With several copies, the nearest count.
Chain A
Amino acid sequence: MAEKTYLQAISDALRQEMRRDQRVFVIGEDVGVYGGAFKVTLGFQEEFGPWRVIDSPLSETAIVAGCTGAAIVGMRPVAEMQFADFVSCAWDHLTTVAAKQRYRAGTPVPIVVRLPSGGGFSGGPFHSQNPESSFAHIAGLKCVCPATPEDAKGLLIAAIEDPNPVLFFEHKHLYRRIKGEVPDERYTVPIGKARTHRAGEDVTVVTWGAMVYTADEAAKQLEADDVSVEIVDLRSVMPWDKGAVLESVRKTSKVLVLHEDTRTGGFGAEIAATIAEEAFEDLDAPIKRIAAPDTPVPFSPPLEKAFIPQVDDVAAGLRELAQNYMNCLDLALPSPRTQDA
């Protein structure tokens, strides 16, 4: 057990798997001598050689489709997109071939695509995106979004083990900022199981990735108002842990769904819609969503700050929900529903 950054946890996990399993190789732009744009594979090529740490041409389709081919003949490829944004160039392959090959043809495609994602550094419209919602809609893909170093390791190993195409969203803003204890031994964290980041009684926040920390800060603010916030870190959005979310919602009766990706059609909509369908009777307030507005990610700092959900935005949202709850109590008899009916 040692304290590691989120980045180090990913790097070490990958190295461990490559040592353990000859079938695992990495391919991507500048992953060799350079160690990748974020240095996740630094030193890998020296250890594993140029045929297991492959500097590819600037060619996202060839990278990911190449992984699919290699996987089908028995390898366990791990592709790196230099930034998550560039996976748009492999969209067709992922959604057309990789996602559907098992269903159509019975051919498993065990590939992992690593995606450094997220904003907060004035990376602008093409180095800041969180494209997990787009992929989560495509049946056959899995989308993993760890928030802690421990999960990053355990989920990456689970992703490599998984017999399906897994998109592994690594939030760049966590890379060096977030540290935590990471077990040395090999372990997996099951894909599709949420984690209670913070237990609470009054309001549930459902979120993932870097927003877990934003929610946590906001929850601390709410302590002052005597509102106890539960944070459910989904850890993967496809599959997502519906059971854990519904359980928390049943407890708190109020829920805020939070993500960094843009709002309309973002995966938060799926979560909110599911709650509205399956836990409707348990709700004491409207389901609130906080997400980025429907724009590209702007470059200039004041715009980017306004774009990415901030602690204050989340705290305000939580207060509103808590408030609404109070109003609800007042109206309990007769209920607003019966008035309409």
Chain B
Amino acid sequence: MAVREAEPITSLREVKEAGLDREDLLDIYRHMLVTRGIEERGHILYKQGKIPGSFYTGRGNEASAVGVATAMGPDDWGTPLHRDMGVHVTRGVEPWRIFAQYMGRVDGPTKGKDGNVHMADSNLGLIAMVSHLPAMLPVAVGCALAFRIRNERRVAVAWFGEGAAARGDTHEGMNLAGVRRLPVVFVCDNNQWAYSTPTYLGYGIEHLADRAAAYGFEGVVVDGTDVLAVYREAKRAIEKAREGGGPTLIESLTLRMEGHAVHDDAFYVPRELFEEWARKDPIERYRTWLRENADMSDEEEDELTGGVKKLLNDAIRRAEESPLPDPDTLAHGVYATPEELDTPHHK
């Protein structure tokens, strides 16, 4: 079975059909700007020595992350990975907490216990990733299993990279989801590289979305720089899952626009490829679309970018005020206490 290749979105009419009003469209833009802004600022903080450890960004993946997250319902759950900052932003994590996380401060979602994008706010329906890829994918399948057991109209979204697609966890999760037709959507962030490893050394087929057929569900390839097309495909897949139609595998094609992490200059990626994909920059592309199709005015844009700038400046300031964790808390919280389960999810 050949996968379906999604068409780009070209007109406002199509967007409306997909369920977005103008407010939503601007929100999407704002989320993409905030996402990139957080990572750009993070990079600077890293260079200033304010962020310990390593530093990763998802530059080039903003449309994909924000597009999918926008399509999720408020009660849906997801397991975003290290290129998916846009998911956290879209679901409402406050940027200052992300900077606090980066800097290992107590107000980061992990309180300094873990670093960089290894975080999530479970009150926003997100589960924190681990390094091991893609260990969270079968966890998302487990969320979907619970939704199915309880007959809830909720969906889980599992992200994974095209490199991580080689791991057994991908397979076990997808197979279980397929055989039980669970309400889960798999989103492959195919950014063409896994660290220094190009796709042709990672797998022997053209489209990873073709793997969906091996599990009995649908696959679709979407241009990951087209936020509206990503949104439309995610929305379709999520609503299909919600209606009992089973999983979908969405392969979102982008290019990882920076090195694997801050220490990596990506010498192994042909320069022309970077140039080619820079021309398709998802934020620039969407900005143009908004101006051409949604009458985004100069004032609107200035207000928006100004707002983002202020948000980030304030966020960094607030994060820097957050203290480093007290070493005496080192051993706290290895085990949960019964009271912790008295949350809305554990009823």
Contacts and interface: CB of A to CB of B under 8 A. Distances in A.
Direct contact of A and B (CB under 8 A): yes
B71 to A, nearest CB: 19
Nearest to B106: A300
Contact of B336 (A34, A108, A124): A108
Interface stretch (B57-65, B193-201, B231-239, B281-289): B193-201
A306 B147 CA distance: 41
Contact of A163 (B139, B176, B197, B337): B337
Interface stretch (B25-33, B36-44, B130-138, B309-317): B130-138
A41 B144 CA distance: 24
Interface string A261-292: 00000000000000000000000000000000
A300 B149 CA distance: 39
Nearest to A305: B327
Contacts of A54: 145
B258 interface: no
A223 B330 CA distance: 31
A66 B138 contact: yes
A70 interface: yes
Interface stretch (B83-91, B216-224, B338-346): B338-346
Contact of B331 (A55, A293, A300): A293
Given A57-B203, A97-B136, A300 B113 contact: yes
A332 interface: no
A169 to B, nearest CB: 18
B335 A102 contact: yes
B268 A102 contact: no
B196 A34 contact: yes
Given A85-B132, A293-B331, A163 B113 contact: no
Interface in B87-117: 104-105, 109-116
A163 B341 contact: yes
B52 A97 contact: no
Contacts of B331: 293-295
B201 A55 contact: yes
A33 interface: yes
Contacts of B270: none
Most chain A beta carbons < 10 A, residue from B128, B145, B173: B145
Contacts of B325: 298, 300, 302-303
A62 B168 CA distance: 9
A59 B134 CA distance: 11
A72 B328 CA distance: 28
Contact of A75 (B110, B149, B268): B149
A92 B203 CA distance: 23
B118 A124 contact: yes
B186 interface: no
B194 A106 contact: no
Nearest to B347: A74
A261 B57 CA distance: 30
A65 B141 contact: yes
B142 A67 contact: yes
A72 B326 CA distance: 28
B202 interface: yes
A298 B156 CA distance: 29
A131 interface: no
A162 B53 CA distance: 34
Nearest to A108: B336
A interface, size bucket: 35 or more
A54 B176 CA distance: 11
B80 interface: no
Given A62-B166, A66-B138, A110-B341, A72 B133 contact: no
B113 A299 contact: yes
Interface string B137-174: 01111111111111000001000010110111100110
B197 A29 contact: yes
A202 B326 CA distance: 36
B147 A73 contact: yes
A244 B170 CA distance: 45
B326 A302 contact: yes
B113 A104 contact: yes
Contact of A72 (B116, B143, B337): B143
Contacts of A89: 132, 167-168
Given A126-B132, A300-B104, A69 B345 contact: no
A108 B209 CA distance: 33
A310 B176 CA distance: 43
Interface string A101-125: 1111111111000000000011111
Interface stretch (B4-12, B119-127, B240-248, B299-307): B119-127
B262 interface: no
Interface in A15-66: 23, 25, 27, 29-30, 32-34, 37, 51-52, 54-62, 65-66
Nearest to A70: B146
Contacts of B326: 302
A233 B158 CA distance: 43
Contact of A73 (B136, B143, B341): B143
Contact of B142 (A70, A110, A123, A124): A70
Contacts of B168: 59, 61, 89
Nearest to B345: A74
A68 B145 CA distance: 11
A235 interface: no
Contacts of B164: 58
A106 B347 CA distance: 18
8 contacts: A57-B194, A65-B169, A67-B142, A74-B345, A102-B335, A108-B341, A161-B338, A306-B327
Interface of B: 52-54, 77, 104-105, 109-116, 118-120, 122, 127-128, 130-133, 135-136, 138-150, 156, 161, 163-164, 166-169, 172-173, 175-176, 179, 194-197, 201-203, 268, 324-331, 333-338, 340-341, 345-347
Given A66-B145, A67-B142, A163-B340, 12 more contacts: A66-B142, A69-B139, A72-B143, A73-B146, A75-B149, A100-B130, A102-B334, A104-B114, A126-B132, A163-B337, A300-B105, A302-B112
